[in-house]
Structure 1
Amino acid sequence: MNGQTSGKGNQVKDHPSALNPAILVLNIILSILGAIIGLELIVRVGISTNTSIIGALFAIILSRIPIAFFKKYRNIHAQNLVQTAISGATFSAANSLILPIGIPYLMGEPQLVIPMLVGVLLATIIDATILYKTFDTPMFPADEPWPPGIASAETILAVVNKGKKAMLLLVGMGIGIVGKAFGIPTDLLGVTWIGDMWALGAFGVGALVIGISTDQGFNISQYYVPHGIMIGAGLVALIQVGLMLFKKEDGKGSVAGKFTSSISDMRGALAKGYIAYVVVAIGLAAVSGIYSQMSVPKLIIWVVFAAFAAIASELIVGMSAMHSGWFPGFATALIFLIVGMMIGFPKLPLGILAGYTAATGPAFSDMAYDFKCGYILRGNRAGIFRYGV
C-alpha cells in the first residue's frame, strides 16, 4: 500500500481507516444530514440528489482549520470516505427506504410499513455487498464512465492541486448555482459532459418525445410504449449479463489482470446475493402475511421471482448508472411489477414486490460512483482498489 500512485503527484502512504475516530464522527454527522436531505427531497420533490461532492468539500473546508484534529481530512482518501458516507446515506434513505415503504401506506395497509422497512433495509445491505464484490469485474469495469464518481474525484483533485483546475471548478459551481436558481437543470447539463454519449443521447430523445407529445395534448405513457421499451431494453441487458456470466474462463485469475475480480468471483457473489434475497423474500412474505393470499405453488413462484427481480433490477440499474450517471430505480421496479401482474399475483403481493425491487439498485449504483472516485484517486489501475477499514 505504501508509496502507490494516487492522482497527479499524490502518494498513498497509509490509507486512512473508516473507523478512525475523526473520520467516523464526521461520517456519522454527515450521514445523518445526508439522510435528512434525501428524505426531504424525495418527499417534497420526488427526486434525491448526489451529495458526495458536498461531503468532499465539507471535509476539505474542515481540513483548512488550523487545528491538529482536522488535519486528518487533508488526506484525499479520507475525503473519499467522507463523501462515500454522506452520498450513501442520502440515496439509501431516500430511494431504498422511504420510497418503498410508501407503497403499503398508499395501498391502505399501514401495518405493513414496518415489515416492508425491515425487508428493504436488508435488501439495501445485500445490494451494497454485491456491488463491493462485483465492481471492477467484466460486468462492471472500473474504467467505464460512472460520471458522478469522475465528478467527485476531479473535484477533490482540483482543490488539492489548486491552480487553473480549481478556478474552473469554481466557475462551474457558479454556473450550476445560477442555473439551478433560475430553474435550469444545470446538474443534468454537467452530467451530459461526462457520461456515455449513447446513453444520454437516448435520454435526450426520450425527453424530447415526451415534451412534444405533451404539447400536442396527449401523453405517450398512456399507450404503454415507454413501458414496453423499458421491458425490452431490460431483457436485452439481462441477456447480455447472462452471456457474460456463463462465458468460459480464459484460465487467468482476473482476465489477464485487467480486472480486480474474475468472472468466477462475480458468479459466486451473484449466487450468494440471490440466495440472500430469497431468504429475505421468504421472511417478508411471512411477516407481511401475503402468504395467506396465495396458494403454496404461487407463493414459491413469488419468492423465486421477487429474489430474481431484486438482483436483476440492481444489475439493470447498475448498467444504466455506469454509462449515464442516472439510475432508473423505480422505473425498473415498474417493469417487474408489470411482469408480476402478467403472472397473476394478487394486489398486495404485487405492492410488496414493487417495493422490494425498488430498494435494490440505488445503493448499488451510488456506491459504485464512490468506488469510481476512489479508483481515480488511487491512480486508476496503478493502485490497489480494495482497502480494509
Structure 2
Amino acid sequence: MSQNGSNGNFGDALSGGMGPQISREKLPEKHPSALNPAILVLNIIVAVLGAIIGLELITRLGISTNTSIIGALIAILIARLPFAFFKQFRQVNSQNLIQTAISGATFSAANALLLPIGVPYLLGKPELVMPMLIGASIALLTDATIIYWIFDTKIFPAEGTWPPGIATAEAILAAAKGGKKALMLVYGTIGGIIGKHLGIPTDVFGVSWIGNVWALTMFGVGLIMRGYSPRFFGIDINKYYVPHGIMIGAGLVALVQIIMIITRKEEKGKEEVKFTRTNTDLGNGLGKGLVIYLAAALILAVVGGLISQMSTGQFIFWIIFAAFAAIVSELIVGLSAMHAGWFPAFATALIFLVLGMLFGFPPVALALLVGYTAATGPAFADMAYDLKAGWILRGSGEDPEFELEGRKQQYIAEVISFLVAIVIVGLVYKVYFAQDLFPPVDRVYVATIKAGTDMQVARYLLMWAIPGAIIQFLGGPARQLGILFATGLLINYPIAGITVLVGIAIRLITVKRFGEEGQRQLYVLGAGFIAGASLYSFFMSTLKLGKK
C-alpha cells in the first residue's frame, strides 16, 4: 500500500490513499480528555448501549454491526442541544471519543466475550464459563493494547485504508463543515440505504472505492469462488478445507514477512518522518503482547483444570499454541480489516480449532482454545478503525505530538468501554443462555469438537496451504493477496464479490478520467455508502431484535 497519499493516477488507485485531511491551523491546542467528567459519563452511557446492541445482534441474528457511525451521530446530535454544557461535544475530537467508546463496547461484548463463554457452556461445562470470561477479558484488553502500541508502523500504517475509519471520519467532518462535501456524503448515504434495502451489499461497494485495489480484487475473487464453487467445480470447496488451508499458508508467510520487517535495519532518520512508531516499537509491542498472551493462557489453563486432563508436555504445548494462535489470529484479522474493512475472526478461530484437534487436545482444551482465539482480533480491528478516524480528524499526522496524545485518549475511552462490556456480559449472560440464545458460530465450534477429525483433514490443509503461501509471497507484505484471497474464500457471500469487482472497475475508470479529484469524490461517496449500509443494518436489525 502506498505510504504517500493520493497522486491522482492509476498507481494511486491501485494503492489506495490516506483519505481526508484537516489542516494544522484548525487543530485545537489540547486534545479533549477521555476522563473529562462529561465525556466519561456519556462514554459509559453509549458503551452500555453498544454492549446491549452487540449482545442482541450476535445472539439473535448471528452478527454484530459497527456502531461507530451511530456513536458519531449521537455526539453530533448532543452537540446541537441548546445548552452551554453540550458545546464541548461540537469539537470533532470529542465526537471521536464517543464513537470509539460505543463501537468498542459493541464488538467486545458480542465477539470477544459472549461468543467465547458460550462454547464451554454448550459443550456441557458451565463451570468453565467464568474461567473463560477471565481469559477472554485479558485477551480482549491485550488485543486493543497491542494495536495501540503498533498502530502507525510499517505493518499497520495510519495511512492504511481501514475503510470504516474513513467512513466515520467523513461523517463527522461533513457534519462539522457542511457544504458540498456534506451533500456528497448525504447522496452516498442515501445510495447506501437504498442499495442495502434492495439486497446489494453497498458497504462493500463503498469499500471498493477506498481500499487497496489489488487486495480487494483478490478478496472479490475469493468471495465469488466460495459462493459459486458448486456451480464452477461441482463441489463445495469448504468441505475440502480449501479456504482454511489457503489461510494457514498465507498466514504463515505473512508472519514471516512481518518478522522480516521487524528485523530489517532501518535507515536513520527516515522512518521517524513517515511513522509515529518505529520497527523497534513494532517488535516490542508484539513481543510484550505475546508474553501477556502466554500468561493469560496459563491462567486460563490452570483455572480451567486442563492440567488434570493432559500430560505435562501437552499442557505446556497447549499454553504455547494458544498464545501463538491468539497473536497470529489478531494479525490476520488486522491485515484483512485494514485492506478490506472485513475481518474473518470466526473463521480464523475455526482454523486454530481444527489444528488443535489435529494435535490431539481433549474437548475441554479445544473449547477453551477456540474461545481464547476468538476473543482476539475483533477489538484489534475495531480499535484500528477508530484510530484511523481519529488520525484523520487530528490532521492526518501533521502534528505528531497531538496525534499521539489523541491516540492515548482513544485508548483510554476504548478500555473504559471494555470494562463496561465485561461487567454487562458477566451480569446478563445467564439470561441469554437460559433462553438458548447463543452466537450461532458457537454451535459450529461445538459441533466440530464433537465430530472430531482425521488425517485426511490434515492432508487437505497441507495441500491447500502451499498455494496460499505462494500467493501471499508473490503479493508481498504490502498487498496481502493471500490473506485477502483466503478471507474471501471463508465467506459465503458471492454477491459481495461481484459488487467488489464492479466497484473497482468504476473506480479505475473514474480515476483514469478525472484523476485526483475523481478519487477524492469517490472517497466521500464510498464513505457515504458504508455509512448508509451501516445505518440501514443497525436500524433494521434493531427493529427485529424481539424476534428470535
Considering the TM-score relative to the shorter chain, is it more than 0.5? yes
Question: Structure 2 length normalisation: TM-score?
Answer: 0.67
Q: Higher relative contact order by CA 8 Å / sep ≥ 6: 1 or 2?
A: 2
1:257 Cα deviation (Å)? 2.2
Q: What does residue 77 of structure 2 align with?
A: 61
Alignment-mate amino acid for residue 39 of structure 1: L
**1:242 aligned to 2:259?**
yes
Name which of 371, 396, 404 aligns with 1:386. Answer: 404
1:150 Cα deviation (Å)? 0.9
2-structure distance, mates of 1:34, 1:297: 42
**1:273 aligned to 2:289?**
yes
Alignment-mate amino acid for residue 33 of structure 1: L
Deviations 1:130-159 (A, max 9, x none): 111100112211111111111111111111
Q: Secondary structure of 1:19's match?
A: coil
Q: What does residue 456 of structure 2 align with?
A: none
Q: What does residue 160 of structure 2 align with?
A: 144
* Same amino acid, percent of matched pairs: 60
- Comparing 181-190 with 213-222, greater Cα deviation is found at 213-222
Alignment-mate amino acid for residue 158 of structure 2: A
More helix by share: 2
- Comparing 279-288 with 98-107, greater Cα deviation is found at 98-107
Alignment-mate amino acid for residue 155 of structure 1: A
Alignment-mate amino acid for residue 300 of structure 1: I
1:214 Cα deviation (Å)? 4.5
2-structure distance, mates of 1:74, 1:329: 35
Q: Secondary structure of 2:64's match?
A: coil
Q: How does 1:1-389 map to 2 (within 5 A)?
A: 7-8=22-23, 10-214=26-230, 218-252=235-269, 255-384=271-400, 385-387=403-405, 388-389=408-409
Q: Secondary structure of 1:260's match?
A: coil
The alignment covers a number of residue pairs equal to 384
2-structure distance, mates of 1:324, 1:74: 31
CA contact (8 A) 1:7 1:157 kept: no
**RMSD, matched Cα:** 1.8
Alignment-mate amino acid for residue 32 of structure 1: V
Deviations 1:321-352 (A, max 9, x none): 11111111121112222222222222221121
1-structure distance, mates of 2:275, 2:300: 36
Question: Structure 1 length normalisation: TM-score?
Answer: 0.94
Alignment-mate amino acid for residue 65 of structure 1: L
2-structure distance, mates of 1:359, 1:315: 13
2-structure distance, mates of 1:98, 1:198: 35
Deviations 1:23-73 (A, max 9, x none): 111111111111111111111222211111111111111111110111011
CA contact (8 A) 2:27 2:395 kept: no
Q: Secondary structure of 1:12's match?
A: coil
CA contact (8 A) 2:104 2:382 kept: yes
1:210 Cα deviation (Å)? 2.6
**Runs of 5+ unmatched residues, structure 1:** 1-5
Q: What does residue 3 of structure 1 align with?
A: none
**Runs of 5+ unmatched residues, structure 2:** 1-20, 410-548
Deviations 1:106-153 (A, max 9, x none): 222222111111110110001111111100112211111111111111
Alignment-mate amino acid for residue 264 of structure 1: T
Alignment-mate amino acid for residue 223 of structure 1: Y
1:94 Cα deviation (Å)? 1.2
1-structure distance, mates of 2:307, 2:198: 50
Alignment-mate amino acid for residue 87 of structure 1: S
Q: Secondary structure of 1:257's match?
A: helix
